[in-house]
Chain A
Amino acid sequence: NAGVTQTPKFQVLKTGQSMTLQCAQDMNHEYMSWYRQDPGMGLRLIHYSVGAGITDQGEVPNGYNVSRSTTEDFPLRLLSAAPSQTSVYFCASSRQGADTQYFGPGTRLTVL
């Protein structure tokens, strides 16, 4: 099992550009989520999904979109990147929402 994979590992964007962070898991987990990690703020939930076709907002959803067309994949879209979105992004999955989260290696995003 590869677990949770994320691509790319690093990305630099200019303000206003859009991009998609990819996340995939091979554990057949129903629950997937995206977090951002900023210094001194821990991890904050952006969006989550409890199954294919179902998504919901977390604590900090503004500026991000998600979709879940398959159980395996949960991409995160930045519609118009802003410097405030400079962060490390983690994708996670679990059998169900409040259960043990398995994390990907992260994507370090810089917005200039």
Chain B
Amino acid sequence: AQSVTQPDIHITVSEGASLELRCNYSYGATPYLFWYVQSPGQGLQLLLKYFSGDTLVQGIKGFEAEFKRSQSSFNLRKPSVHWSDAAEYFCAVGADGNQFYFGTGTSLTVIP
């Protein structure tokens, strides 16, 4: 069965520090890969996605993610975190044509 793993439940970083959120997936073929962000009490907003091609993808708000097939990973990065980045981040996989699988999320706290 397909699965998405986000091993870090909660991460705390200082404002201005770099950030990396981990995501691993289990799927036989190369799936469509997504990162979403959810602010408290809000719906989910797409940060970036990977379908094919260049394995380093750029998203909104200065985020980027790199697809590594050999590691079945799609880690999210940001070189300098802002206080407004505090939120919950979800990795997701689109697979089997009509199914969408989410990880359990990583909660990000940003300290001044």
Chain A residues with CB under 8 Å of chain B are 4, 31, 33, 35, 40-45, 48, 50, 56, 58, 90, 92, 96-106
- Sorted nearest first, the 7 A-B pairs with minimum C-beta distance are A98-B94, A97-B98, A103-B43, A42-B104, A43-B102, A42-B102, A103-B44
- B interface secondary structure, majority: strand
The answer to whether B100 and A100 have CB atoms under 8 Å apart is: no
Given contacts A42-B105, A45-B99, A98-B97, 17 further A-B contacts (CB under 8 A): A33-B100, A35-B102, A42-B103, A42-B104, A43-B102, A45-B101, A58-B99, A92-B44, A97-B98, A98-B31, A98-B94, A98-B95, A99-B94, A101-B34, A101-B46, A103-B43, A106-B43
Partner of B97, one of A33, A58, A90, A97: A97
- Chain B residues 15 to 59 lying within 8 A of chain A, measured CB to CB, are 31-32, 34, 36, 42-46, 49
The answer to whether B100 and A45 have CB atoms under 8 Å apart is: yes
- Given A42-B90, A42-B105, A43-B90, the answer on whether A98 and B100 have CB atoms closer than 8 Å is yes
The answer to whether B34 and A100 have CB atoms under 8 Å apart is: yes
Q: Which residues of A contact B97 (CB under 8 A)?
A: 96-98
The answer to whether A31 and B98 have CB atoms under 8 Å apart is: yes
Nearest chain-B residue to A48 (Cβ)?
B98
Chain B residues with CB under 8 Å of chain A are 4, 9, 31-32, 34, 36, 42-46, 49, 90, 92, 94-105
Q: Which residues of B contact A105 (CB under 8 A)?
A: 42-43
Partner of A40, one of B95, B98, B104: B104
Nearest chain-B residue to A90 (Cβ)?
B43
